[in-house]
Structure 1
């Protein structure tokens, strides 16, 4: 009888230890799929009917986890990769350098003194760009994303939209909604295009109001061929971005202002971009709207105006359908338009 009781106690103790160990560490598989069909006519281009990839969000899958190592500190990691739902290939459309884990690939620690990570990490400017516009990170319908990362005639932010390689990152604890962040990316190789990238951010989020100020600087070497795919003669690009949003329950308002300085051997160029947007609940769905305007000054003067309107309807907590239209105009170019509807689901 004592043996049976002892065995039961041993089994119960082992189960409790296993349960505690499971609570101290976790691993999660997750992702998102987004496909749409539509009509597209780019500026100065020919029209076509398309089956598109990632109308609202570029599809991705990920594996994240954490381990509690005591004292309120956790070891964290995240591995995320883009894929094209139309043909099954890795990466986003138009991003030839996307690898297996090109969305996130980092390991770090998080605790009472903040969070520190190292690896492949999205830059702070990217997060501010997508947070303060209603179309989030859409490369198809978000005017602010297109103006910032799909530039026109030398306009735009360089150094990759979605990730910085060889990076270290730190975020402070939240002080009543106030958070400071800093990031640096190493070149690793002499003369590497991505060397000397750094960025800093101060953000605040409390009671429906959020704001952020980000500064980013990238220095480029002048080795032969190093700048050919970016902007000839470019030595330094500096960017400041101010974002704000305010949720009034019946409407959420968005705004951004961004200034880019391009230091070029034959004359500097400045690019000013402004964006306003809104999100209006309609039943269980929502109407999204955004307008962005950019103008460059210096030896090249170019303007661009893009607006978008969308209706998003949730079918469940994980799945939604959407319809959207985007209009694009720029100096000395014929106008462009994109119209589409899609389905997006998470797992």
Structure 2
């Protein structure tokens, strides 16, 4: 009997130790609202919106203490629509993030799986799109720089340094998982530095498709590191830099990004007024080129601990086979926290297209059907809950 009690006590002690050294957290966010758009595909629109600021998601995050400052870590994050319950990210079970790796207090972390690129991880927090202060509808035209996380990187290995007195560095490589080393791959690098209220960041991203011709059946990185880019092109290069400064309850910032497409055919995520894809061909059957320069100024201010305001304006200068389309996109957000986990918000966006490239481009706020004119307005009243 004594032996049985001793074995039971030891088993309980080991279970307690294992539990103390490991943790798994269930977390999530639900964002829903009612949206009005003045012109979506040529008609006014009232709709229930999902993720006007942050896309709805739930996930599991875990860590196991291996000793000596080393941990095993993982994240599995699912995206879904609260409006109809369907999966996001092209129907993936864990389409937002899915990775596992090792983390060291001294040297940083190495992770493998489906992850965010370094433009998103380092430059994204300085922009209002893709963050809790502006989100989905504030994206730059066609989310050309991916700051709103239109795509993630499959088959990727990512290194994230430790925080060295405010400085952090990251690097990523996304494998094609097929023959042809340079085909369908991705790589990115990024860095950030924070000091005395200032935050600086810079990042670079490159996607290669490796195909000789572009068709609707062969999007950028089809079947490789990236499968959900909005562009049909042979190569995408995106780089950018930004800074912001926090003083008291206010933060003001500026972000610049440039995206260049070579061997480009179309923007699959964008449409013109009649619902067809935007063609980037230089001539029938001949891939063209596209360049976007995005200049974003943004600010946010906490009027009270519960009530905050945010605003941004982005000027986008485009180049398309000798044409020069330009976009002006503005966004405003008022956010009120009912509790630490629940807030309600009212936001509005306006986009105007100048030099429409011979009518190729109309206003096209992120996630909406394009306007039939050069202007588009959207207004959303919504609620977010975190758990």
Report deviation, 1:34: 0.6
Asked if the contact 1:126/1:161 (under 8 Å) is kept, the reply is: no
| 1:135-155 superposed Cα distances (whole Å, 9 cap, x missing partner) | 54465432xx23362x5xxxx
1:18/1:206 Cα in 2 relative to 1: closer, same or farther (>3 Å)? Answer: farther
Q: 2:113 aligns with which of 111, 114, 119?
A: 119
**Distance in 2 of aligned mates of 1:61 and 1:230:** 24
Report deviation, 1:206: 3.2
| 1:293-327 superposed Cα distances (whole Å, 9 cap, x missing partner) | 10113523110111011110001111100001110
Normalised by the size of structure 1, how large is the TM-score? 0.86
Q: Secondary structure at the match of 2:348?
A: strand
Report deviation, 1:25: 0.3
Report deviation, 1:7: 8.6
Q: Hey, what does 2:370 align to over in structure 1?
A: none
Q: Hey, what does 1:204 align to over in structure 2?
A: 193
Does 2:237 align with 1:244?
no
Asked if the contact 2:130/2:136 (under 8 Å) is kept, the reply is: no
Q: Secondary structure at the match of 1:120?
A: strand
Report deviation, 1:84: 0.3
Report deviation, 1:14: 5.1
Asked if the contact 2:35/2:49 (under 8 Å) is kept, the reply is: yes
**Distance in 2 of aligned mates of 1:66 and 1:88:** 29
Pairing 1:1-347 to 2, within 5 Å after superposition = 15-42=12-39, 45-91=42-88, 95=89, 97-111=90-104, 112-137=106-131, 140-142=136-138, 145-147=139-141, 149=143, 151=144, 161-190=150-179, 195-224=184-213, 225=215, 226-227=218-219, 234-264=233-263, 268-283=289-304, 284-299=306-321, 300-331=323-354, 332=356, 333=362, 334=373, 335-347=375-387
**Distance in 2 of aligned mates of 1:179 and 1:202:** 6
1:189/1:110 Cα in 2 relative to 1: closer, same or farther (>3 Å)? Answer: same
Asked if the contact 2:123/2:202 (under 8 Å) is kept, the reply is: no
Asked if the contact 1:193/1:227 (under 8 Å) is kept, the reply is: no
Report deviation, 1:250: 2.7
List alignment gaps of at least 5 residues for structure 2: 221-228, 264-285, 357-361, 363-372
1:139/1:249 Cα in 2 relative to 1: closer, same or farther (>3 Å)? Answer: closer
1:198/1:110 Cα in 2 relative to 1: closer, same or farther (>3 Å)? Answer: same
- Give RMSD over aligned pairs: 2.7
1:106/1:42 Cα in 2 relative to 1: closer, same or farther (>3 Å)? Answer: farther
Report deviation, 1:268: 4.2
Normalised by the size of structure 2, how large is the TM-score? 0.78
